């Protein structure tokens, strides 16, 4: 059996009361997935704007500090290889 490590310090009097006031038993409000009240201003898990995590945006902003074209080309190659590796990992995990 797994033991829960409570966050209320040392329990002195009433163990049940201490557990009830622990964050484990905190009331949570469930948000509707569809219909009334389901709009989320801040999206969860990076489902925001479609250009925010795009390859073009990443390359454009990451090559700004480099002044000559040789450094820009090297940074572009490194980034493209990292992106390919990341895509392979995400495809493997799915």
DSSP the chain: -PPP--SSS---S-HHHHHHTSGGG---PPPPSSSTT---SS-SSS-S-TTTT-HHHHHHHHSTT--SHHHHHHHHHHHHHHHHHHHHHHHHH-
| Domain assignment of residue 79, yes or no | yes
On whether residue 42 sits in a domain, the answer given is no
**Domain housing 73:** 66-94
Per-residue confidence band for 31, with pLDDT thresholds at 50, 70 and 90: confident
* Residue whose structure tokens are 């002044």: 67
| Total domains, the chain | 1
More confident residue, 52 or 38: 38
**Within-domain flag for 55:** no
pLDDT confidence tier of residue 89, bands split at 50, 70 and 90: confident
pLDDT above 70: residue 91: yes
| Mean pLDDT on 64-73 | 64
């Amino acid at each position: 059996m797994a033991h829960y490590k409570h966050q209320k310090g040392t329990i002195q009097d009433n163990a049940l009361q201490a557990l009830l006031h622990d964050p484990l038993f905190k009331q949570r409000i469930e948000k509707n997935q569809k219909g009334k009240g389901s709009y989320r201003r801040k999206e969860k898990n990076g489902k925001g704007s479609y250009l925010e995590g795009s390859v073009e945006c990443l390359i454009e902003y990451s090559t700004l500090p480099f002044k000559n074209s040789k450094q820009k080309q090297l940074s572009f190659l490194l980034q493209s290889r990292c992106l390919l590796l990341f895509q392979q990992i995400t495809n493997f995990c799915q």
